[in-house]
Structure 1
Amino acid sequence: MRKLIAVLALSFASLPALAEEVVLGLSSDTVSINTNFDGSEILIFGAVKRDAPVPAEPPLQVIVTVAGPSETKTVRRKEKRFGIWINTDAVEIDSAPSFYAVSTSAPLNEALSFTEDVRHRISIPRAIRSVGAPASIADSETFTQALIRIKSKANQYQLNEDTVSVDEDTLFRTAIALPAALTEGDYRTRIFLTRGGNVVSQYETSIYVRKVGMERWLFTLSREQSFFYGLLSLAIAVAAGWGASAVFSLLRR
């Protein structure tokens, strides 16, 4: 797997008395997708700057989230009728990240309170916005749960609990795996410091995922020159069919 190491450097800026704060920066803020791209890994690490001794209780926790560009999704329910499976109800998810990962230094329900989750929209269900379900569908939440299951199975939604290492309440590090199927765009990256489930500091930056080389050329051609893209696809299909036919003819001789 190709690795992109996003080194998070710490900054010792002036901080309020008794405050805990993390200030981070990315040494590399891009992931390049080409024809050989099979995924990547982001390594995130940093430190906490404080002007007072480390509080004894409650312990410091770190939460890291990485969110891909949001998109609208239509989730359909299938039911078996007259021996065949057909689409019945459908719910449109207004906004769902194409990729979303949450990494924590403790179980999420210990590191983050319900109120803070609602406020900052950190957990996977909170990161998804669905408000336009038809009134005829009473169980609209099951459609959101279905989307989470599908995305989680494809490794596009991740809950990585106990994967952020925190040393002496000061240094932390984690790694987040990006799958091969990535949507191009800005990936919003947030880091939260929490104590007793409450957010005491947060930092936000972004990583840009972009296509390069042949991937970029084909993507641009399909969007800006759809007619020629269609001709090219047809030509490739004809060439592949002719080539396969020629090989089978030689094998039969």
Structure 2
Amino acid sequence: MRAILALFLLFAAPLMAEEVVLGLSKKNVSITANFDGSEILIFGAVKRETPIIEDPPLDVVIAVSGPLQPLTVRRKEKRFGIWVNTESVEIDAAPSFYAVATSAPFREALTDVEDLRHKVSIPRAIRSVGAPYNVQDSAAFTRAVIRIRTENGNYQLRENAVSLDQQTLFRTSIDLPANLTEGDYETRIFLTREGQVVSKFETVIGVRKVGLERWLYTLSRQQPLLYGLLSLFIAVTAGWGASTLFRILRQG
């Protein structure tokens, strides 16, 4: 038994020889009425049991994921001169925001097998169980989600964006768009060697509404009738105020 335990520790030791020590420029992001996006600096170091740096060199892969949400994707086609919905696919869970930054080209930093295991790439971060039998190309719906959210900055793949100095210190920045969803943003850091994960670290960045935004959000969830009446009152008051101002300007 001792011999088996010693052998196990011998093979397990290299897996724990390098670990991530992480830092964040901010652990929480506050969404206010004038929030127009934010930038988070992610930095850290590689902690080693010995000062010897092994070969081949390390790579760093960082993934930041917003809250998962179910999603319905519809296809539109033009029929008789009118655009109508024809087919739809239910996606079980798609991140509201997802960013991947790497110190090398993605496929060099992480093998396909490791990507499948940890679900790091954008397509594998989206969970879709199945599609209706009449939809032949369900994968096209997932690609459409990725394309649209990439265009508006909610999905990002930033290859060679992680600086790795002396195989020890790493840093990168992640741009958060203005249309963030409130919730916990899971942040994962992978150390890889020849595409294989040798160490993994996880933390959470909190994104919360504050001030007036927080109050309105809470009111809309807890007292929807009052929220609706308040919204109607604000709309009527704004309309009346604009009409009065326009009439005064015309008379002047």
- When normalised by structure 1's length, the TM-score is 0.91
Aligned to 2:249, the other structure's residue is in SS state helix
Aligned to 1:45, the other structure's residue is in SS state strand
Contact 1:65 1:122 in 2 (8 A): yes
Name the residue aligned to 1:54: 53
Contact 1:25 1:205 in 2 (8 A): no
Name the residue aligned to 2:217: 219
- For 1:27-176, what aligned pairs fall within 5 Å after superposition? 28-52=26-50, 53-57=52-56, 59-176=57-174
Q: Give the superposition deviation at 1:249.
A: 0.9
Q: Give the superposition deviation at 1:239.
A: 0.8
Moved more, 92-101 or 243-252: 243-252
Aligned to 2:149, the other structure's residue is in SS state helix
Q: Percent identity?
A: 66
Distance 1:27 1:251 in 2: 50
Name the residue aligned to 1:5: none
Q: Give the superposition deviation at 1:54.
A: 1.2
> Who wins on radius of gyration, i.e. which is larger?
2
Consecutive unaligned residues of structure 1, counting only runs of 5 or more, are: 1-14
Name the residue aligned to 1:243: 241
Contact 2:96 2:181 in 1 (8 A): yes
Aligned to 2:22, the other structure's residue is in SS state coil
Distance 2:62 2:24 in 1: 14
Q: Give the superposition deviation at 1:51.
A: 2.6
Figure out how many residues of one structure are paired with residues of the other and give that number: 238
Distance 2:171 2:178 in 1: 23
Contact 2:104 2:159 in 1 (8 A): yes
Moved more, 176-185 or 21-30: 21-30
- When normalised by structure 2's length, the TM-score is 0.91
Matched, 1:178 2:211: no
Aligned to 2:233, the other structure's residue is in SS state helix
Name the residue aligned to 1:195: 193
Aligned to 2:90, the other structure's residue is in SS state strand
Q: Give the superposition deviation at 1:248.
A: 1.5
Name the residue aligned to 1:11: none
Per-residue CA shift, 1:192-242, capped at 9, x if unaligned?
001111111010010111111000000000000000100000001101111
Give the direction of change, closer, same or farther, for the CA distance of 1:27–1:147 in structure 2 (3 Å limit).
closer
Aligned to 1:240, the other structure's residue is in SS state helix
Q: CA RMSD in A?
A: 1.4
Query: Which residue, out of 226, 229, 244, partners 2:227?
Result: 229
Per-residue CA shift, 1:35-54, capped at 9, x if unaligned?
11111111011111123421
Distance 1:131 1:56 in 2: 40
Aligned to 1:142, the other structure's residue is in SS state helix
